[in-house]
C-alpha cells in the first residue's frame, strides 16, 4: 500500500533562534575556557542581547567576559535551543546541564 510510518518528509519541531548564528553573545571564561555548565541565561530587554553564564562568582567582569557567536554557544550546549523563543526581558536558570530550564520574567527596573 505504500504506507511507511517513518516518512522523511516529517516536519521537525526543533526550535531555532531568530537571531543569526553569527550573532555575538556574552559569556565568561568559565564557560569557554573551563567548560563549565551554563546555568543562567538572560535575554536582555534593553538591547535584545543574550548572555550565557555559569554559576561562578566573579569580581571583575572585564577580566572574565568573552564574546563568541551564538552558533559557537549552541555547539557547546545544544540544550540552549530550548530557550530559543524566550522573550526579551526574561531569564532562565538551572542547576546543571542535566536539569530543565526554569524561565522567569526579569522584574528589575
Please report whether residue 58 resides in a domain: yes
pTM of the model: 0.83
Please report whether residue 84 resides in a domain: yes
Residue 7: pLDDT over 70: no
**What band does 9 get if pLDDT is binned at 50, 70 and 90?**
very low
Please report whether residue 81 resides in a domain: yes
Query: What tens digit of pLDDT does each residue of 36-86 get?
Result: 999 999 999 999 999 999 999 888 888 899 999 999 999 999 999 999 999
Residue range(s) defining the domain that contains residue 60? 24-105
Give φ, ψ of 37 to 5 degrees: -65, 140
What is the number of domains present in the chain? 1
Q: Specify the residue for cell string 517513518.
A: 6
Please report whether residue 95 resides in a domain: yes
Please report whether residue 9 resides in a domain: no
Amino acid at each position: 500500500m505504500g504506507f511507511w510510518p517513518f516518512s522523511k518528509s516529517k516536519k521537525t519541531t526543533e526550535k531555532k533562534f531568530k537571531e543569526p548564528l553569527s550573532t555575538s553573545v556574552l559569556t565568561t571564561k568559565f564557560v569557554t575556557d573551563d567548560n563549565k555548565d551554563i546555568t543562567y541565561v538572560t535575554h536582555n530587554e534593553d538591547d535584545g542581547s543574550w548572555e550565557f553564564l555559569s554559576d561562578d562568582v566573579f569580581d571583575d567582569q572585564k577580566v572574565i567576559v568573552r564574546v563568541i557567536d551564538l552558533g559557537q554557544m549552541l555547539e557547546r550546549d545544544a540544550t540552549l535551543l530550548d530557550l530559543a523563543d524566550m522573550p526579551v526581558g526574561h531569564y532562565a536558570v538551572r542547576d546543571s546541564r542535566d536539569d530543565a530550564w526554569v524561565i522567569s520574567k526579569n522584574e528589575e527596573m
